[in-house]
């Protein structure tokens, strides 16, 4: 038997028409470790002390390092959830993002991203899928919400 990398799938792909408004997809939880903070700071170049200086944060009344807003938002990357794998090769691209940062995320917090399909709009050869995103922390606090829209082949 010959190995075929195109058949090495974690989830079977679904065509656009098989998705339904109201479907919920979840990404695995992720704990915001010092390593995640360091990697994000290196990638973003954001060196404001609110993200890496514990003494500075303590003076401001914070309990630990505070995550960058985008560091929180990237936890809602669909590639970390089964959804992107189900979209498969029909996924053309990420076209829109909105987000609200509702509560601080600290080093040591664990985040739980979820995606709910809120709109499916067909065109002649493509369609868009809009998702409501939510990110809760380990205490059930909604720390971030927003919407994402993806372009897909029909």
pLDDT digits (tens, 9 = 90+) for 9-19: 889 999 999 99
Residue 39 in domain: yes
In total, how many domains does the chain have? 1
pLDDT of 6 reads 87
Residue 36 in domain: yes
> Would you say 96 and 147 are in contact if contact means Cβ atoms under 8 Å apart?
yes
> Would you say 100 and 112 are in contact if contact means Cβ atoms under 8 Å apart?
no
pLDDT digits (tens, 9 = 90+) for 101-121: 999 999 999 999 999 999 999
Residue 9 in domain: no
> Would you say 92 and 125 are in contact if contact means Cβ atoms under 8 Å apart?
no
Most confident of 50-54, 78-82, 128-132: 128-132
pLDDT digits (tens, 9 = 90+) for 72-104: 999 999 999 999 999 999 999 999 999 999 999
Question: Bridge-partner residues for 121, per DSSP?
Answer: 128
Which domain does 86 fall in, by range? 15-153
Ramachandran region, residue 43 (left: φ > 0; alpha: ψ -120 to 50; beta: rest): alpha
Whether pTM > 0.85 for this model: the answer is yes
Residue 24: CATH number of its domain: 3.10.129.10
Structure tokens at 84: 């992107």
- 3-state percent helix, strand, coil for the chain, nearest multiple of 5: 30, 35, 35
Q: What average pLDDT does the segment 43-54 reach?
A: 92
Q: Report d(CA 11, CA 6) in Å as an integer.
A: 12
């Amino acid at each position: 038997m010959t190995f075929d990398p195109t058949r090495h799938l974690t989830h079977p792909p679904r065509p656009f028409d098989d998705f339904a408004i109201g479907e919920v997809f979840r990404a695995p939880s992720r704990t915001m470790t010092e390593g995640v903070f360091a990697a994000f700071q290196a990638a973003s170049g954001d060196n404001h002390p609110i993200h890496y200086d514990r003494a500075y944060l303590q003076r401001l009344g914070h309990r630990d390092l505070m995550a960058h807003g985008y560091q929180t938002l990237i936890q809602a990357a669909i590639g970390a959830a089964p959804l992107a794998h189900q979209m498969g090769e029909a996924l053309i691209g990420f076209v829109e993002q909105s987000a609200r940062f509702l509560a601080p995320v600290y080093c040591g917090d664990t985040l739980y991203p979820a995606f709910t399909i809120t709109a499916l709009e067909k065109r002649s050869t493509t369609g868009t899928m809009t998702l409501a995103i939510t990110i809760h922390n380990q205490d059930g606090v909604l720390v971030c919400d927003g919407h994402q829209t993806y372009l897909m082949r029909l």
